[in-house]
Chains A and B, each alone.
Chain A
Amino acid sequence: MIAVELRKLVLRPRVWLSILLLCALPLVVAVVLAAADFPPPPGQGGAFLSAVLRNGSLYPAAALALVLPVFLPLAVAVLAGDGIAGEAATGTLRYLLVRPVGRTRLLIAKLVALCAFILLAVLLVVITSLVIGILLFGTGAEAVGQAGAVTSLSGVTLTPFELTLRLLGSIAYIVASMLGFGVIALFLSTLTDSGLGAALAALAVLITSSVLETLDAAGPIKPYLPTNFWLAWIDFFRDPIFWHSIEKGLLLQAGYVIVFFGAAWANFSTKDVTS
Chain B
Amino acid sequence: MIVTRALTKRFGHTLAVDAVDLHVREGDRYGFLGPNGSGKTTLVRMLLGLVYPTGGSIELLGRPVPRRVADVLPSVGSLVEAPAAYPHLSGRRNLTLMDAAGAGGRRDRGRRVEDALELVGLSGVDNRPVKAYSLGMRQRLGLAAALLRRPRLLVLDEPTNALDPQGIREVRELLIRLNEAGTTVFLSSHLLGEVEQLCTRVGVVDHGRLVLEETLDGLRRPTGRVLVSTPDAAAAVSLLDGQLESRDGSLLVVRHTDPASLNTLLVEAGLRVSEMVVERRTLEQVVLEVTGSGSDRVDAP
Contact = CB atoms under 8 A, between A and B. Distances in A.
Contacts of B48: 94, 97-98
Contact of A92 (B69, B78, B86): B86
Interface residues of A, number: 24
Contact of A95 (B45, B76, B98, B100): B98
Interface stretch (A4-12, A49-57, A65-73, A164-172): A4-12
Nearest to B84: A91
Contacts of A90: 84-87
Contacts, number: 72
Contact of A8 (B74, B76, B87, B97): B97
A270 interface: yes
Contact of A100 (B84, B89, B102): B102
Interface in B61-75: 69-70, 73-74
A101 interface: yes
Query: Chain A's interface: helix, strand, loop or mixed, by majority?
Result: loop
A220 interface: no
B300 interface: no
A7 B88 CA distance: 13
B98 A99 contact: yes
B85 A92 contact: yes
Contacts of B50: 94, 97-98, 272-274
B100 A100 contact: no
Given A100-B70, A272-B50, A273-B51, A1 B101 contact: yes
Contacts of B80: 94-95, 98
Contacts of B89: 11
Interface residues of B, number: 30
B52 A4 contact: no
B49 interface: yes
A90 B98 CA distance: 14
B45 A274 contact: yes
B145 interface: yes
A95 B84 contact: yes
B228 to A, nearest CB: 52
A96 interface: yes
A270 B52 contact: yes
B78 A91 contact: no
Interface string A1-38: 10110011001110000000000000000000000000
A274 B145 CA distance: 20
A4 B83 CA distance: 20
B272 interface: no
Contacts of B83: 91
A274 B49 CA distance: 11
Interface in B193-240: none
B88 A12 contact: yes
A102 interface: yes
B82 interface: yes
Interface of B: 11, 45, 48-52, 69-70, 73-74, 76, 78, 80-89, 93, 97-98, 100-102, 145
Given A97-B49, A99-B98, A274-B45, 15 more contacts: A7-B97, A11-B88, A11-B89, A90-B85, A91-B81, A94-B50, A94-B80, A94-B84, A95-B84, A99-B73, A99-B102, A101-B102, A270-B52, A272-B11, A272-B52
Interface of A: 1, 3-4, 7-8, 11-13, 90-92, 94-102, 270, 272-274
